[in-house]
Each structure stands twice: as C-alpha cells, then as structure tokens.
Structure 1
Amino acid sequence: MKNIPISALIGLFLTSLYFLAALFAPMIAPYGMAEVVGDVWEPRSSEFLLGTDQIGRDLLSRMIYGGRTTIFIATAATILSFTTGSVLGFFAAVMGGWVDQVLSRFVDLMMSIPSLILALVILSSIEATVGTLIVLMGLLDSTRVYRLARAVAVDISVMDYVESARLRGEKLGWIIFREILPNALSPLVAEMGLRFIFMVLFISTLSFLGIGVQPPLADWGGIVKENKEGINFGIGAALWPAVAIATLAISVNLVADWILNRTTSLKGGRG
C-alpha cells in the first residue's frame, strides 16, 4: 500500500465513495426516493443541488438511491457469476473428457445467443424483481467467466504441484480450491472488475428499456429513461446517471489494474 500509484488511489477513493453512498443512502439523501419536493425540472440550487426530475423529485436523492440499487444488483450478480462460472470452469478443466465437452458445448450454445436479447425474452415472460434480475444476469454472465476460468485452469492443471496433489490422493475439492484457485486469482480479479462494470451497464440498459428495475425503486438506467425528454429542452437531468456510470467504470478499472499488477509482481517475487 505504501507504493500505491496515484491512479489506483483515485480509483480506490471514487469506488469507495460510490459504495459508501450506496450503503448509507437513507442517511445522506436529502429527500426520500419518491418524494415530490418541487416543480418539474427545476434548475440546480442550494435546495436542490442537481435540480429536480420530470415530476419534481430531488435528482440528487434519486441518484443516491439509484446508485444503491444499481451497485447492489451489479455486485450480487457479479458474485453469482464468478462463483458459478469459475467453479464450473475449474471442474471441467480438472475432470476433462466428456464432462468438459458437455459443459463447454452448452456454454458455447448459451454464448451464441446475445445476452441482452435472451434477457429481454426471459423478462418479458416473468416478473422483473430484484432477485430475478440478479439470478438472470449472474447466470447469463457466468458463461464468460466459465471460458476464462477453464482456459486458466487447463494450463494450471498440468503443473507439477497439481500432479503431485493427484498422486497424494487429494480429492477434487482440494485440487480446485487449494491448488488451482490461488494460482488463477490474478486474471480472475482483473476480469471481475470488467464484469462488474458490464453488470452496471447491463442493468442500466434493461431499466432504460423498461424491463429492468421497476418503480418505485430507482436506478441509474431508469433515471435516464425518465428524464431523456428533457434533453430536447436543454435539461441535463438524464446526463448525471451517465456521468456516474462512467466515473464508476473508470475507478473500478483503475483498482482492478492495480490489483492485477500487484498480484503478478508478488507471484514473480516468490518465483
């Protein structure tokens, strides 16, 4: 931590700021999430720091609560994606044979269908609750994680220390979680940052299309959808969520790059 670069420090600060704001949203938001407090699209003022939205709600409060919803869903979906995809990828690489072939061909089939189109089809026939969105997004994205985890695990599984573990009679769980996982963390950590941002963009896209987060909950994509007509009148209420998504994406990627470089240098030092 003493040698942390300025870029990673900025990324850590901004990422922490967003997550803390999401965690303590009810305590720091000036108004309620759905509380109408002013006129339509009021300009910025000391009372409304970002102005108001299309029905007179405080935009800053909507942004804070919307960030809470967006970050929570994206984080939960990313955890589910990496848990499912990495475990199945490691399992396929260690088992090999027909198990690897069946899992890999099924993943290829799922990846051949665009995730957004598949999500639109599924959400058009079921209720779009927060839990449904997390499970759907996590499982759809786990196919990408599976490909990465399997590719990394295939190279690691032929290493001498893995062969030694097999000869010692270690069980499958030991080989996956004690031999392969620690040596596959660097690419997985870097990929986790990218997948988290993809989840933020994914849920924002679904909400913009009207099938993601449903009212009365707020999220950044929904705020853009609600205020997009204001752009025709020179009102930038729809631009603030875009700025939030962009800065969050940059800050998370700065942190992920630093962690990747740090873990890689540590491995090189031990070697």
Structure 2
Amino acid sequence: MVLAALLAPVLAPVPPNEMVYPAYAAPGPGGVLGADGLGRDMLSRVLHGMRYTLIITFAATTLAGAIGVSLAIASGLLKGWFDILVGRAFDILMSIPHIILALIVLAILGVSMTTLVFTMAVLQSSTYYRVTRPIAGDLSAMDYVEVARLRGERLGWNLFREIFPNMVPSLLAQYGLGLSSATLFISSLSFLGIGIQPPAADLGGLVRENALALSAGRFTPLVPAACIALFCLSVNGIADWLVSHFSERPES
C-alpha cells in the first residue's frame, strides 16, 4: 500500500480529477473500479487518496511521537515543576474530545495539509506522553543513568543515548497504534468535510464523496473504506512482529 501510494502518479491510469466516464459507471475495461458521481476514474482517485492519507498519517504520527516522547523523557529526568507543568498541560489536552478540538482549530486556522499534520500531531502527542512517562521515570532511576549524570553528561545525551534506546519495544507498539488511530482520525475529519479539500480527496473523503453510489448499486465507497481497514490491520500486524522481535532475549 505504501508503494502504491508513492507510485500513484505512475500507476494511476488517468489523472484523478479528469472526468472520463459516465457518472457511477460500472467496473469494466474502461475503469477497473468504475467511476464516481462525476465520472472520474475510481482507481486513480483511490491511489491518490491513499497517498494523501498515508503522507498525513506518517507525518503526524512521527511528529506526535517526537513531541510526546521527548517531553516524557525530559519530565522523567528533570522532575519537579517541569514534570508537573507538562503533565497538567497534557491532562487538559486529553480532557477535551480530540475531534471537537480539531474542528475548532481547523475552523480558525483553515484546512491545509500543514495544519492537519500539526493539529493531529499535537493531539496525538498526549497519548505518547502518557504511555512513555512511567517508563521514562523507571529508566531515569537506573544506575547507568545516574552514572551518566555523575560524569557530567547533558540532558540530550541522557535522552537519546541512555533512555530512548531502552524504550524501543514500547515505542514500536505505540507507533503502530498511533498510525492506525491517525489514519482513522484523518479519515473521520475528511468524512465530516474538514480534511483534504475537493477536488483532491483522501480515503475518508472518497467514502464521503461516493456514499450515494451505494443506492445506485455500486461498491465504490467500499474500496477506500477497505483500504483504511487493511492499512490499520497491516500496520498493527507489522508492529506486533517488530515488538516480539526486539523483545527477544538470547538464551543463556
């Protein structure tokens, strides 16, 4: 799916916004998945929609992880007022329903790929913080971290050389869940009409655009919906395998 998204301009038979078939044309030689309500090729639309979805998903999840994990490790090392301030800030962020907060932010700032990525990253970072903060607290009390402090290592060294490598299995599991939740979140926003704006569309937007096709006996809305489900299942399966791989201990 990632390769198909990256190669969408090459794999798509026609430009995604070009009206080339009758509305809701059935799948056939002219179009593998048929056409949408405006006569645009659904295969081309799905490939480009997958590209938008995965770019936003990976960018937002990676940025969220960087924010949440960095603050969690820093809180575990510094403690005191910094830990309290960051913890209360994330408590406030988690107390507000994310979909409502996203609606407010996007209504104020406007919808663009940049605002979508940063809004989702900030909202998701609270989950990373809550998952990694207890782990960071436990690791920061380890002897090797105390030795690094005593020999004068700075915060950055302790963050990325002492604590972060020992959190990899937990972070891989959370990253897999984060990718799935980000995919569902951007799809939900697009289904509500505040995601990627027409004529472009991500997978959630394609479901919204083609909902009426079901009444015409077409299965076009099910294709992008199936892509969302398949991506979430696949990425969680890969994350589970990576966690088990990194968690293995050599036999003594």
Partner residue in 1 for 2:95:
112
Aligned residues: 252
Partner residue in 2 for 1:174:
157
Deviation, structure 1 residue 126: 2.2
Deviation, structure 1 residue 210: 0.5
Of the structure 1 ranges 150-159 and 179-188, higher mean CA displacement relative to structure 2 is found in 150-159
| Secondary structure of the structure 1 residue equivalent to 2:18 | coil
Give, in whole Å, the separation in 1 of the partners of 2:205 and 2:83. Answer: 40
Paired residue type of 1:74: T
Deviation, structure 1 residue 162: 1.0
Q: Where in structure 2 are there 5+ consecutive unaligned residues?
A: none
1:210 is aligned to 2:193 = yes
Identical columns (%): 44
Partner residue in 2 for 1:74:
57
Partner residue in 2 for 1:160:
143
Paired residue type of 1:258: W
Of the structure 1 ranges 95-104 and 232-241, higher mean CA displacement relative to structure 2 is found in 232-241
Q: Where in structure 1 are there 5+ consecutive unaligned residues?
A: 1-17
Please, what TM-score do these two structures have when normalized by structure 1?
0.91
1:23 is aligned to 2:6 = yes
RMSD of aligned Cα (Å): 1.2
Q: Structure 1 runs of 4+ off > 4 angstroms?
A: none
1:55 is aligned to 2:35 = no
Partner residue in 2 for 1:145:
128
Q: Is the 8 A contact 1:43 1:51 kept in 2?
A: yes
Give, in whole Å, the separation in 2 of the partners of 1:80 and 1:222. Answer: 23
Give, in whole Å, the separation in 2 of the partners of 1:202 and 1:45. Answer: 33
Deviation, structure 1 residue 197: 1.1
1:102 is aligned to 2:85 = yes
Deviation, structure 1 residue 251: 0.8
Deviation, structure 1 residue 46: 2.0
Paired residue type of 1:208: F
Q: Is the 8 A contact 1:33 1:218 kept in 2?
A: no
1:236 is aligned to 2:219 = yes
Partner residue in 1 for 2:68:
85
Give, in whole Å, the separation in 2 of the partners of 1:38 and 1:62. Answer: 13
Give, in whole Å, the separation in 2 of the partners of 1:124 and 1:168. Answer: 50
- Which has the higher relative contact order, 1 or 2, with Cα contacts under 8 A spaced 6 or more apart? 1
Give, in whole Å, the separation in 1 of the partners of 2:163 and 2:200. Answer: 41
1:127 is aligned to 2:124 = no
| Secondary structure of the structure 2 residue equivalent to 1:35 | coil
1:116–1:229 Cα change, 3 Å: same
Please, what TM-score do these two structures have when normalized by structure 2?
0.97
| Superposition pairs of residues 191-202 of structure 1, within 5 angstroms | 191-202=174-185
| Secondary structure of the structure 1 residue equivalent to 2:96 | coil
Paired residue type of 1:214: Q
